[in-house]
Amino acid sequence: MSKIFGVDVNWRHLWLDYRSEVCFAVILCALVVFSYWAAAFIPEDFFETFINPAQYVAMIVVCLFGAFLMYRHHEGIEMRRSWGTVLLIWALIEIVLLILRYSYGFMAVGGTPDDPLYNTSLTIGNMLAWLLFIYPSQVLRPGWLTWSKACVVVLPMIITGAIDYFVPANLIYIIMLYPIAIFCLLCRHIRKYRRWCEDNFSSMDNIDVQWIVRYLIMLALLGLSFYFIVFWYVPNRMFTQQWMFLLILGYSTEQILFRRDPWEELLKADEIFENTPAAVNTVSPAYKEAFEQWMEEAKPYLNPNFQLDDLRRVLPMNRTYLSNFVNNEYGCSFYQLVNRYRVAEAKRLMTEQPDLKIQDIADRCGFSSRRVFSQIFTRETGATPTEWK
């Protein structure tokens, strides 16, 4: 344990929480560096004639196919419709850039500071990046980013780019700082999003809270790669930029199609609950006793899918009151409270049935996997399950 700015930091817990993301970042950085190195050996003529057009076509195909999937399987989820529209816009931009590049010689990204299109290249690239910010913005704050707000947010970038192009004023650093500011804003919301998930769910596995960390890692590397290409342009370097675009577009499409949407689930549950006659919005002193008795006798926490809404069986309150009840009475999130019960149950099983395997204990106590069990048990007790036994 050490202190940073007066705050206690347990480095072991941080490593347990984020090691998969750290490994992801290291591997992706290594791939990007290797890609830049390998691209230097590609003959420029071969790259311009075959590889670059093929990457443009691949991007267009991925976007159009992804948009088709989004609209075909939207199931009333607004996020899927929005992302389908983003993919269509992206495909249209790629088609226009492909035509401009190979018919008129115009390059959306590249050139030198003496090129009049140099800063315009930055503006175009940043506007493409803004399309990638729509997805995490919608997930972290559902309903906040409407199309009108998206236009308002991107308007300063367009105005700055226009002023920079038509007026003899170098605004390149303002153009560069704009997407960085948006990126930092999204990073601020990660902690709030995780806290919200912990207040409502007892398992993070099916929700995949840290998908956003992986997504922002890709965005950060994509942005650094883009600025590297703009300032030190070599045609072959576009090879790396294009496959990174393909990676992040494909990852986003897969996540939107198959990742659970916790906001959508809870909004539906809230709508059903508010229409029931038993719904109340007050906290009774007897609720804590009723809650603890229910947890001890029924042991609902043994269900891996146990969530805050299930508390309504004994505490007929809306979700906000339920969350405040847990936070105020126990000083922790719902996720942390449930895992305390699960760890206590695991200790009991290991004491009474020492021959049980760790995997069996994890399954019986409601943990989604042995890895999650070991991680949480170590965090709560300071020892691994095997060491504790």
Contact criterion met (CB below 8 Å) for 93 and 132:
no
Q: Answer with the one of 228, 260, 292 that is the final residue of a domain.
A: 260
Query: Does residue 307 sit in helix, strand or coil?
Result: strand
- Residue 331 phi, psi dihedral angles, 5° rounding: 65, 25
Q: Return d(Cα 376, Cα 340) in angstroms, integer.
A: 9
Residue 7's pLDDT is 40
* 227 and 302 within one domain: no
Q: How far apart are CA 27 and CA 93, in angstroms?
A: 30
pLDDT at position 62: 92
Cα(18)–Cα(10) distance, integer angstroms: 12
Whichever domain contains 343, its CATH number is 1.10.10.60
| 125/62 Cα distance (integer angstroms) | 19
Residue 281 is predicted with a pLDDT of 53
| Main-chain dihedrals φ then ψ at residue 43, nearest 5 degrees | -60, 135
Burial of 141 (0-12, 13-18, 19+ CB in 10 A): middle
The answer on 123 and 253 residing in a single domain is yes
CATH number at residue 44: 1.20.1070
Q: What is the 3-state secondary structure (H, E, C) of 142-188?
A: CCCCCHHHHHHHHHHHHHHHHHHHHCCCCCHHHHHHHHHHHHHHHHH
Residues 218-254 as b/e (b if ≥16 CB within 10 A, e otherwise) read bbebbbebbebbbeebebbbbbbbbbbbbebbeebbe
Query: Are residue 149 and residue 86 in the same domain, yes or no?
Result: yes
Alpha helices (H) along the chain: 11-39, 44-46, 52-72, 78-99, 118-140, 147-166, 172-200, 211-231, 238-258, 262-274, 286-298, 319-330, 334-352, 358-364, 370-381, 385-388
Residue-range definition of the domain harbouring residue 138: 2-260
C-alpha span between 163 and 155 (Å, rounded): 12
Q: How many domains does the chain have?
A: 2
Question: Do 7 and 100 reside in the same domain of the chain?
Answer: yes
Residue 274 inside a domain? The answer is no
Q: How far is CA 387 from CA 356, 358, 374, 377, in A?
A: 14, 11, 11, 11
Whether residues 328 and 183 fall in one domain: no
Residue-level pLDDT at 263: 65
- Residue 273 maps to a domain: no
Task: Choose one of 260, 275, 299: the last residue of a domain.
Answer: 260
Instruction: Report which of 21, 13, 69, 65 is spatially closest to residue 215, judged by C-alpha positions.
Output: 21
Asked whether residue 276 is assigned to any structural domain, the reply reads no
Give residue 22's pLDDT.
78
- pLDDT of 2 reads 45
β-sheet bridge partners, residue 8: 3
Q: Tell me whether residue 6 is in a domain.
A: yes
219 shares its domain with 304: no
Distance CA 389, CA 387 (A): 5
Q: How far, in Å, CA of 15 to CA of 360, rounded? A: 26
Same domain, 98 and 210: yes
**Are 134 and 27 found together in one domain?**
yes
Tens digit of pLDDT per residue, the chain (389 long)? Answer: 444 444 444 444 444 455 677 778 888 899 988 998 888 888 888 887 888 888 889 989 999 999 999 889 877 777 788 888 889 988 998 888 788 777 766 555 444 445 544 555 666 666 667 777 776 776 666 666 676 777 777 777 777 767 766 776 666 667 677 777 777 777 777 777 778 888 888 877 656 667 778 888 888 888 888 777 767 766 677 788 888 888 888 888 888 888 766 666 666 655 555 555 444 455 566 788 888 899 998 999 999 888 888 888 888 777 778 888 888 888 888 999 999 999 999 999 999 888 888 889 989 998 888 888 888 888 888 888 888 88
Residue 255 shares a structural domain with residue 329: no
Give pLDDT, residue 67.
92
Query: Both 29 and 147 in a single domain?
Result: yes
Q: Which of 244, 260, 276 is the last residue of a domain?
A: 260
Q: Tell me: do 174 and 50 sit in the same domain.
A: yes
322-336, pLDDT tens digit by residue? 888 888 888 888 999
> How far is the C-alpha of 94 from the C-alpha of 82, rounded, in Å?
18
Residue 136 falls within a domain, yes or no?
yes
pLDDT at 299: 92
Please indicate, yes or no, whether residues 108 and 247 belong to a single structural domain of this protein: yes
Q: Give domain status of residue 279, yes or no.
A: no
Q: Is residue 43 part of a domain?
A: yes
- 195 within domain boundaries: yes
